[in-house]
Structure 1
Amino acid sequence: MKAFVVLMLLFFIPLSANAGVYKWVDANGQTHFGDRPPAKSASSEVAVKAASASVDAGARERHQKMTEFLEQQQEEREVRQAANAKAEEKAAKQAELCRKLRARLKDLASVSTFYNVNDQGERVFVSEAENTRIREDFREKVRSTCGND
């Protein structure tokens, strides 16, 4: 019995989906449309034809333009992401370079005197003024490369 009721409901569902559209004129002369006929007025059923979506060339053109726009936006997004990744990589290399330069500058502060090696392989110590100049030149290199932080 339950199967019969379910079967009958499934049979009538498509009929209710195709319910008609009714047209009537009220007492004031205004035309109305509805999915149910009015109780007090005479009405006539109107045949409604659905527009074919595949025929609309304008819709295809709009769809094509939208697709092209979205593809262009995706390409621009990928270019921006690549540029950001490159900038981040460059910033990371710069930070590593500055870390090494600052470590070297700290090491130079602990060295009491500098020397050069002559052609015979002997150490030739430089003057105190030259020591100061070497330290100051390196300090300036760190400042120009890494800033004052």
Structure 2
Amino acid sequence: MQASMVLIFLCFIPFYANAGVYKWVDANGQTHFGDRPPAKAASSEVAVKAAPASVDAVARERHLKMTEFLEQLQEERKARQAADTQVEERAAKRAEVCRKLQARLKFLASVSTFYNLNDQGERVFVNEAENARIRADFRQKVKRTCGNE
């Protein structure tokens, strides 16, 4: 039902679009124009010719410059978005590295002493001074990488 109403409406659009322009003179001698003829005055239909759409060279040049400008803005926006994406990716990687370093630092605090393996694969425990140096070096690494301990 709605489709048929729309179809009927679309059929009448050309008649409405081509509605005439009427000209009449009132009792005071003033000339009037309208899209409907007046009820109490004699009128005549006026043929109105639409001016052809012409684009001059200046308008064409302005349009071309505007298009180039918009394309340049779009390219700059894409470049900024790519740079922002890279910054975000680097920040995410750094945050992940820092998270792992913080976890390792916490683990190192729970270890009582460290050892090295010798050529035979046996554990050789380090002294307290070496333990303190290993912890301090690792804290410095975390501080350099993450900016805090």
Q: Do both proteins adopt the same fold according to a TM-score greater than 0.5, normalized to the shorter chain?
A: yes
Distance, in Å, in 1 between the alignment partners of 2:85 and 2:15 is 60
Aligned to 1:56: 55
TM-score scaled by structure 2? 0.68
Q: CA shift at 1:123, angstroms?
A: 6.6
1:112 Cα deviation after fit: 2.3
Q: Aligned-pair RMSD on alpha carbons?
A: 3.3
Structure 2 CA distance, aligned partners of 1:132 and 1:13? Answer: 90
1:141 corresponding residue in structure 2: 141
Taking a change above 3 Å as real, the CA distance of residues 29 and 79 of structure 1, as seen in their structure-2 partners, is farther
Counterpart residue type for residue 94 of structure 1: R
One-letter amino acid of the structure 2 residue matched with residue 131 of structure 1: N
Identity %: 78
Q: Residue 115 of structure 1: CA displacement?
A: 4.6
2:72 matched to 1:84? Answer: no
Residue 86 of structure 1, CA deviation: 0.6
CA distance, structure 1, for counterparts of residue 90 and residue 13 of structure 2: 66
Q: How many corresponding residue pairs?
A: 138
Paired residue type of 1:71: E
Distance in 2 of aligned mates of 1:138 and 1:77: 41
Q: Which residue of 2 aligns with 1:68?
A: 68
Letter in structure 2 aligned against 1:48: V
Call closer, same or farther: CA 1:15–1:142 in 2, change over 3 Å: closer
The alignment's TM-score, normalised by the length of structure 1, stands at 0.68
Cα deviation for residue 61 of structure 1 reads 3.6
Any residues of structure 2 matched to 1:7-26 within 5 Å, and which? 14=14, 17-26=17-26
